[in-house]
Structure 1
Amino acid sequence: MLTRIAVVVPAHDEEQLLPACLDALREAARHAPLPVDVLVVLDSCRDDTAKIATDAGVDTLAVTARNVGAARAAGAAAMLTGARGSRTPGTRADAAQADGAWLACTDADTRVGPDWFSQQIRLAEAGADVVTGIVVVDDWSDWPDNTASAFRDAYRKGVRNGQHGHVHGANLGLTGTAYHRAGGFRPVPVGEDQALVRAATDAGLRVVRSTEVRVVTSARPRARAPEGFSAYLHAL
């Protein structure tokens, strides 16, 4: 039985976009069916990202990986094992925490919708171990005129009858138990989200790919993660 929602947000120098991300999470938490805790993983930040997170009242964890997979893994470990607190990880209480947790993952340049948590928990209660959602871009001003239509055309090919074939770390959720069974996030600079979902599928877990779970993400030309979403847009 799920008892809480644990949110992990990796961030590298995100002082400009993190406030909107946290505001959106705060609004979604107001509509959530379970208590929500948010952790911002500060990966080699040199700006005011830490201060923004602290001022917003969310927990932070500092790492120096410069690697989104490692940052997500560190955040997930902290949220699922109680490593942020004073207890020793690996106790029975920690296992219970993981069993009762829904781990929700997004990015610092992303804004979730007000129903983001409620949609994921609805699917979880219907039997989903893993939920993958889709992304929407609302600002194409930094790109050539044809980029938006090229993205929509390419993205639409993976969407059919309310299901899709996309995987985004900016819009991903799963039970703590499923996370451990799938082996967790790999410490890789790109593709950690897809690797986790593939491992979950290989482990026989139920993966639901819903178009109803949506987030708005940035389309900045200069990416934080190499070969990530920005690189995909450049290729288009």
Structure 2
Amino acid sequence: MSTTPTLRSRPRHARPAWSAPRIVVLIPAHDEEDRLPAAIAALHAQTRRPDTVTVIADNCTDRTARVAADAGALVLLTSGNTDKKAGALNQGLNFLMPTLREHDLVLVQDADTVIGPEFLAHASTALHGRAGAVGGIFYGDTGGGLLGTLQRIEFHRYAREISRRKYRADVLTGTATLFRVATLQHLKEARRDGRLPGGDSYYCPASLTEDDEITKAVRTLGYRTLSPAGCAVTTEVMPSLGKLWHQRVRWQRGALENLRLYGLTPVTWPYFLRQIAMGLSVLALLLYLVFTVWMVIRGVPAISPLWVAVGTLFIAEKIVTARGAGIRCQLLAATLVVELVYDLFQHAVYLRCLYDFTRRRQERWLIT
């Protein structure tokens, strides 16, 4: 398989004369002509503007390459790529890394993501000491009806969790992450000599969730991973249950497969605990529902001090953690029932992935 990409337009100077760190952007894009202009416009509007923006047009059947060029980006056409997003990024990095220095920076960003105007300024400032990469804190875009609202609430809660962890990134989100060139060089060297999985590459081609896997790789090498305040990004929400199901199955199955790939280590044990906690939450919700049905069948009064207290705590937690997503989101959270159905959907994803994982069934990678 050929891995030599084609560059539609080449930067005038491969190596700049100045010594300050450069920031180059890589955007892998597969049929993203609609959302790509907004992503590139946000890069041009940065308070610390990137030096180059390169769109990796991967097996596109639409006008992605033309739209990217019209927006002022360099265009890189993949060649023979069968490894999806990871393969496109590997081809792009193989092409650009020889032109960069160790202290330069590479932003890897999704084509459906718009980064905040101070993202690059905050992220580049945070890359000091043992920090190897800085990921964004993602929020949901507008639209999507009720399903979109539920995803926006979920993303706001995740952002709240990151702040409570003092902005430590457990996943270097694929929406937007800024890497040191030296970190990427170290990654490829470690993969090549067998210290990390993935062979002679930057991103592991075998992983369903390349962002989760590369986070574990970066942390295994001893680097810190961060998602600082100010590194906000807005990303697309899934507009239908089918697309959301495929997205979440890929996320969850990828997380499980990456744990199998790395095994139990000082880096991965918190991720194992998180999966166990998720399983316990599924069991707890199931027991709650079963007990509630049992009470109804037995004729136990539905309104009792115990269940009023439990319900009040659930509602209060939902409302408080939705703060920041807007008053409408908080009102929706207060109903409890709607989010309960959404939780059941998430639990169904977990159980499906756990079943397929234990049976080692192969998961298909679908574009969402």
TM-score, length of structure 2 as denominator length: 0.53
3-state SS in 1 of match to 2:231: strand
Equivalent residue in structure 2 for 1:172, among 171, 174, 177: 177
- 1:122-145: per-residue Cα shift (whole Å, max 9, x none)? 112465221122101131424435
The aligned counterpart of 1:67 is 84
Greater relative contact order: 1 or 2 (C-alpha under 8 angstroms, separation 6 or more)?
A: 1
Superposition deviation, residue 53 in structure 1: 0.7
Superposition deviation, residue 56 in structure 1: 1.5
Go from structure 1 to structure 2 and tell me whether the alpha carbon gap of 1:124 and 1:154 turns closer, same or farther (over 3 Å shift). closer
3-state SS in 2 of match to 1:13: coil
**Greater CA radius of gyration, 1 or 2?**
2
Residue 178 of structure 1 aligns with an amino acid whose one-letter code is T
Task: State how far apart, in whole Å, the 1-side matches of 2:32 and 2:212 are.
Answer: 23
The aligned counterpart of 1:39 is 54
Equivalent residue in structure 2 for 1:121, among 111, 119, 124: 124
Is 1:235 aligned to residue 352 of structure 2?
Answer: no
Residue 119 of structure 1 aligns with an amino acid whose one-letter code is H
The aligned counterpart of 1:8 is 26
Is 1:133 aligned to residue 156 of structure 2?
Answer: no
Superposition deviation, residue 50 in structure 1: 0.5
Q: Is the 8 A contact 1:134 1:167 kept in 2?
A: no
Q: Is the 8 A contact 2:35 2:111 kept in 1?
A: yes
The aligned counterpart of 1:87 is none
The aligned counterpart of 1:216 is 234
Go from structure 1 to structure 2 and tell me whether the alpha carbon gap of 1:127 and 1:199 turns closer, same or farther (over 3 Å shift). closer
Counting only pairs closer than 5 Å after superposition, residues 82-97 of structure 1 correspond to structure 2 as 82=99, 97=100
The aligned counterpart of 2:41 is 23
Q: Is the 8 A contact 1:134 1:166 kept in 2?
A: no
The aligned counterpart of 2:329 is none
- 1:197-222: per-residue Cα shift (whole Å, max 9, x none)? 21111111232232331111111334
Q: Is the 8 A contact 1:111 1:217 kept in 2?
A: yes
Equivalent residue in structure 1 for 2:104, among 68, 85, 101: 101
Larger mean CA deviation between 119-128 and 139-148 belongs to 139-148
Equivalent residue in structure 1 for 2:156, among 143, 152, 166: 152
Identity %, equivalent residues: 24
Go from structure 1 to structure 2 and tell me whether the alpha carbon gap of 1:19 and 1:99 turns closer, same or farther (over 3 Å shift). same
Which consecutive unaligned segments of at least 5 residues does structure 1 have? 83-96
Residue 139 of structure 1 aligns with an amino acid whose one-letter code is T
3-state SS in 1 of match to 2:136: strand
Q: Is the 8 A contact 2:172 2:225 kept in 1?
A: no
The aligned counterpart of 1:86 is none
3-state SS in 1 of match to 2:45: helix
Task: State how far apart, in whole Å, the 1-side matches of 2:156 and 2:116 are.
Answer: 20
TM-score, length of structure 1 as denominator length: 0.80
Superposition deviation, residue 189 in structure 1: 5.8
Q: Is the 8 A contact 2:140 2:155 kept in 1?
A: no
Q: Is the 8 A contact 1:131 1:172 kept in 2?
A: yes
- 1:39-70: per-residue Cα shift (whole Å, max 9, x none)? 10111100010100111121111124361111
Q: Is the 8 A contact 2:26 2:53 kept in 1?
A: yes
Residue 187 of structure 1 aligns with an amino acid whose one-letter code is P
Superposition deviation, residue 170 in structure 1: 1.3
Q: Is the 8 A contact 2:57 2:77 kept in 1?
A: yes
The aligned counterpart of 1:49 is 64
Larger mean CA deviation between 66-75 and 103-112 belongs to 66-75
Equivalent residue in structure 1 for 2:98, among 81, 84, 90: 81
- Aligned CA RMSD, in angstroms, stands at 2.9
More strand by share: 1
3-state SS in 1 of match to 2:214: helix
Task: State how far apart, in whole Å, the 1-side matches of 2:175 and 2:151 are.
Answer: 20
Is 1:58 aligned to residue 62 of structure 2?
Answer: no
